Amino acid sequence: MIKTKRTYDKPQAGDGLRILVDRIWTRGLKKKEFKMDLWQKDISPSSLLRKWFNHDESKWDEFKNRYYNELQDKKESIGLLLEKAEKGTITLLYSSREDRYNNAIALKEYLEAKLKHNK
C-alpha cells in the first residue's frame, strides 16, 4: 500500500516506511527530530519542472506527463520504491501545502500503475 502525507503531520504506526520525496528539506523541521526512513530527493521533479508547475491545478496533467518522463531515467530509485511497496506500506512524505496537486500524489499514481502492471 502506498500512502501520502505532509511532512508536518505526526507519524502514525500505519505509515510503514516513511520516505521523503522532496528535493529540498522541509522548512522548520529539524533533521534530528523528523521521523523518516529514507530521503529520495533524486526522485523528485527537476527544479525547472517544479518551478514551472508551481502547484497550478490547470497544469496538473501536463506536470504529470513531464514528471513521468523524468522518472524514466530513475529506474533504480523507482525499483527500490516498488520493492518496498510490494513488501508493505510506504508513505511518501511531501512538504507542499497543496494536498491534491503535488509530486507525492503524482508519484503515488505512477507507482501504483507500475505495481498493477507488474501483477
- Identify the domain containing residue 108 by its residue range: 2-118
Residue matched to cell numbers 522532496: 22
Cβ-in-10-Å burial (0-12, 13-18, 19+) of 82 comes to: middle
pLDDT, tens digit, 9 for 90 and up, residues 4-58: 999 999 999 999 999 999 998 888 888 888 899 999 999 999 999 999 999 899 9
Supply the pLDDT for residue 119: 61
Instruction: Provide mean pLDDT across the span 79-107.
Output: 95
The number of domains in the chain is 1
Alpha carbon distance 41, 13 (integer Å):
24
Q: What nine digits make up the cell of 36?
A: 523518516
pTM above 0.75, yes or no: yes
